[in-house]
Amino acid sequence: MKQNQLRLDSPPIVEAVVDIDCDMPPKFDLASLEAASKEAYKPRYPHFQLRLMEEFQIKAEENGPSVQNRKRAVQAFQFRQVDQAQLVQVRSQGFSFNRLKPYTTLTDYLEEIESCWRKFVEIANPVQIRSVRMRYINRILLPLVNDALEFNDYIKACPQLPENSNLAFVGFLNQHSAVELATGNEVTIVLTTQAPENDQLPIIFDLTVCSQRSGEVENWGWILEQILSLRSLKNRIFENTLTEKCLNLFRH
C-alpha cells in the first residue's frame, strides 16, 4: 500500500490514540486481570491508574419512595511511562495506545504498539477484533494581527459568516462526519477555537478515523494494514484541511 508520507518538523499533535475494540469472552471480568496486567506492562510503564465507571439507576415505586441502585465497575487499567508521554490501556472493550506530545511519526511507535497488543491478547484472550480506530488531537496556534485573524489564510474548510452581516468571528465549532467510499473507513472531524493567548488563537483540530471491519486477534499483519490505511486517510484530510501557509508553521 502506497502511503502518504506527511512529515512535519514540529507536528501540532497533543495526543494520538490507537484503539482496538474487541468482542471479549463470555463472562469476561476485567477486574480479575489486574495482577496479570501489572506483570505484563509495569516494567516499561510503571505508573498504574485504575479507571472506574459508575452507573446509577433510579426506579420509581408506585406506593413508595424511589429505589436507587449504584453500580461500580472497572473500565480500564492505565499504564504510563516515567515521562508520562506514553501509555497503554487494558479496557473492558479492548486495547488502547496513547502518545502525548512530543510526537514524531506513527512509524516510530508501531513496534511498541504491536508488542503491547500481543501482551493484551495473552492477558485478555479477546475473541475477535470489532474495529480499529485512530484519533489525533492537534492544537494549532495561529498568529493574531491586531487581535484579528483571516481564517481562510490557514484553514480551507473554514465556516463562513453571512456576507454584509457586519459580524466578526469570536469563535466557532464545526463538526462533520464522512465515509471514504473506496475503503468504507469512517471519519469524524471537529474544528473549534479556544480563548486567545499571547497574540495567538488556538485551534483544536480533532480528527478520528475508524475501520469497522472484523479481524482475527492474532493477525498483526491485518491490524497493521488497517492502521496504515487509516493513517493515509488521516494524512490526506489533515493536508487538505489546512493551507500551505498553515502547514509551513510546522516545517521549521
Q: Where are the beta strands (DSSP E) in the chain?
A: 13-23, 47-59, 67-80, 86-91, 94-100, 128-143, 173-179, 186-193, 200-211
Find which of 71-80, 115-124, 170-179 is predicted with most confidence, using mean pLDDT: 115-124
Domain assignment of residue 7, yes or no: no
In the predicted structure, residue 86 carries a pLDDT above the cut 50:
yes
* Domain around 60: 13-250
Find which of 87-96, 144-153, 243-252 is predicted with most confidence, using mean pLDDT: 87-96
- CB 9 within 8 Å of CB 104: no
What's the CA gap between 200 and 205, in Å, rounded? 15
Please give the pLDDT value at position 1: 44
Q: What's the structural domain count of the chain?
A: 1
In the predicted structure, residue 99 carries a pLDDT above the cut 80:
yes
Taking residues 232-243, report their average pLDDT. 95
Domain assignment of residue 5, yes or no: no
Taking residues 132-143, report their average pLDDT. 96
Q: pLDDT by residue (tens digit) across 158-209?
A: 777 787 778 776 778 999 999 999 999 999 999 999 998 889 999 999 999 9
Domain assignment of residue 80, yes or no: yes
Give one word for 188, left, alpha or beta, with left for phi > 0 and alpha for psi -120 to 50. Answer: beta
Residues in the chain: 252
Domain assignment of residue 1, yes or no: no
Contacts of 208 (CB under 8 A, 6+ apart): 133, 134, 135, 136, 187, 188, 189
